[in-house]
Amino acid sequence: MLEFRREGIYCPQGNFYIDPWLPVDYAIITHAHSDHARVGMKKYLCQKLTEPILRLRLGSDIQVQAIEYNQPITINNVKVSLHPAGHILGSAQVRMEYKGRIAVASGDYKIQDDGLCTPFEPVRCHEFISESTFGLPVYNWLPVSQINANMANWVQDNKANGITSILIGYALGKAQRIMKALEGVGDLYVHYAIDRVNRAFTDSGIQLPSYQTLDFSNKPKGLEGEIIIVPPSLFGSNMLKGIPRAYTAICSGWMQVRGARRWRSADAGFAISDHADWQGLLTAVKACEAEKVYVTHGFKSEFSRYLNESGVEAEEITTAFGSEEELDETLPKE
């Protein structure tokens, strides 16, 4: 039921692609991160909560059909439904059923409940397509409540010393988690790129903590002890250097290990991720009970080797996924 083509992951019986990276007629989109949702498709299908973010990122004029989780539709005799992937708002696993065979493409996913997006639900299947962004045993996330408390403590310490806290996190998904974690700890200021995504969240009826959008064109003033959240592209920029007495923290799963060259100059690091950690990946594979697992991006060879050795048939697949949301463009694969 699955073919891995030049254009992307293809379902021949349904004649559609999942998160294709080249233009095709029919694309089912698991979530709105840019490595999964690309321009140029004739028609898009996605989960309802993804639609406003997809239009924001790809253009308001794209042709989109949006459906709820667990609402099956038929595409050329293939029964298709979307199920929560727990990755970011609206993220979905794509379940395909044809003549009793079931395949699930999970996109990016995480098992931890971040309190913002619909939690991951395992879907039983014969074939499972999994990411492996953090597919090494060293990646083990702390509970969400604990990592949130660590972040809040860091901000409070800074505040007590009159120091502004700058937190770096990807604009779609991570920034909103940081906002929630720090709600009530101080005034929240966000970069306009995050504000744009926040508006798409609000359009979908998601409640976010109140915040102000920071205007960097004038030298920002009166931020002593407050909280600023910006996307990774601003790290090390003159914009941030213009803020007096500030400490910077990187929020990324990569902070679990040292050796992240570019990010070493940050004052703090918090290992929070929208991807499954090692145990999370294993939990998902076990829960779906698949007889065959295709591993699409991340520590592919390590994760698929481990699965094969533990009795689950696994195969590495070459895709164009896995570059944007985890700040990994400058990181060595260790």
Q: Write out the H or E segment, with its range, that includes residue 313.
A: strand 313-316
Nearest to 194 by CA among 202, 204, 184, 205: 202
DSSP assignment letter at 88: S
- Stretch (H or E) spanning 269: strand 268-270
Q: Identify the residue among 19, 35, 97, 277 touching Zn ion (CB under 5 A).
A: 35
Of 263 and 321, nearer to Zn ion (C-beta) is 321
CA-only gyration radius of the chain, Å: 20
Closer residue to Zn ion, CB minimum distance, 135 or 322: 322
CB of 226 to Zn ion, least distance (A): 29
Residue 19 sits in the site that holds Zn ion (CB under 5 A): no
Residue placing its CB nearer to Zn ion in the complex, 108 or 127 = 108
Q: Tell me whether residue 81 or residue 106 sits nearer to Zn ion (CB atom).
A: 106
The identity of residue 78, as a single letter, is V
Residues 6+ apart with CB under 8 A from 28: 16, 17, 18, 19, 44, 45, 46, 80, 94
State the helix-helix crossing angle for 174-181 and 192-203, rounded to 10 degrees. 90
Question: Is residue 278 classed as helix, strand or coil in its secondary structure?
Answer: helix
Give the x-and-dash track for 263-302 against Zn ion (CB under 5 A): ----------------------------------------
Cα–Cα distance measured from residue 334 to residue 331, given in angstroms and rounded to the nearest whole number: 9
Stretch that binds Zn ion, among 56-64, 120-128, 219-227, 324-332 (CB under 5 A): 324-332
Residue 94 identity (one-letter amino acid) = V
Nearest CB to Zn ion, comparing residues 309 and 329 = 329
Size of the site for Zn ion (CB under 5 A): 6
Pick the closer one to Zn ion by CB: 155 or 271: 271
Query: What is the amino acid identity at position 126?
Result: H
Of 334, 279, 299, 270, give the one whose Cα is nearest residue 140. 279
Beta carbon nearer to Zn ion, 33 or 55: 33
Contact between 24 and 17 (Cβ < 8 Å) = yes
**Closer CB to Zn ion, 166 or 327, in the complex:** 327
Residues paired with 128 in a beta bridge: 104, 293
> Across-strand partners of 65?
45
> Of the listed pieces 41-49, 103-111, 155-163, 195-203, which binds Zn ion according to CB under 5 A?
103-111
Identify whether the C-beta of residue 129 lies closer than 8 Å to the C-beta of residue 9: yes
Candidates 53-61, 144-152, 220-228, 321-329; binding stretch for Zn ion (CB under 5 A): 321-329
Beta carbon of residue 9, minimum distance to Zn ion (angstroms, whole number): 13
Q: Which is nearer to Zn ion, 37 or 282 (CB)?
A: 37
- Residue pair 255/271 in contact (Cβ under 8 Å)? The answer is yes
Of 61-69, 105-113, 160-168, 253-261, which segment contacts Zn ion by CB under 5 A? 105-113
**Residues whose CB falls within 8 Å of the CB of residue 141, separated by 6 or more in sequence, listed in order:** 112, 147, 253, 256, 271, 272, 273, 277, 280
Please report how close the Cβ of residue 216 comes to Zn ion at its closest, in angstroms. Answer: 26
114 binds Zn ion (CB under 5 A): no
Q: Does 108 contact Zn ion by CB under 5 A?
A: yes
CB of 34 to Zn ion, least distance (A): 9
Q: Minimal distance in Å, beta carbon 87 to Zn ion?
A: 6
Pick the stretch among 63-71, 100-108, 134-142, 244-252 that binds Zn ion (CB under 5 A).
100-108
Min. distance of Cβ 320 from Zn ion in angstroms? 10
Sole binder of Zn ion in the list 26, 33, 228, 328 (CB under 5 A): 33
At residue 334, what is the residue type? E
Which positions touch Zn ion (CB under 5 A)? 33, 35, 108, 321-322, 325
